[in-house]
Amino acid sequence: PKTILITQVTAWFYNSGEHLTQQLSSVFEAAKQNIGARWREQVIVLSASIGHRWCEIETRHGMVRPSDRPKPGQHNYTLLNGVAANLAAEAGVTYIDVSTMLNLRADGHNAHDCGHWCLPGPYDITTQLIHNALLGHIDFPVAHAMPL
Predicted confidence (pLDDT) per residue in 85-100, tens digit: 999 999 999 999 888 7
- Closest to 74 measured CA to CA, from 63, 82, 66: 66
Q: What is the pLDDT of residue 90?
A: 96
pLDDT at 142: 77
Name the stretches of the chain with pLDDT < 70.
1, 11-15, 50-75, 103-122, 145-148
Output the pLDDT for position 92: 94
What is the gyration radius of the CA atoms in the chain, in angstroms?
A: 17
- pLDDT for position 110: 59
* pLDDT on residue 1: 41
Distance CA 105, CA 29 (A): 34
Helix (H) or strand (E) holding 17: helix 17-35
Instruction: Tell me the C-alpha to C-alpha distance, in Å, between residue 94 and each of 74, 77, 111.
Output: 27, 19, 32
Number of H helices and E strands in the chain, helices first, is 4, 7
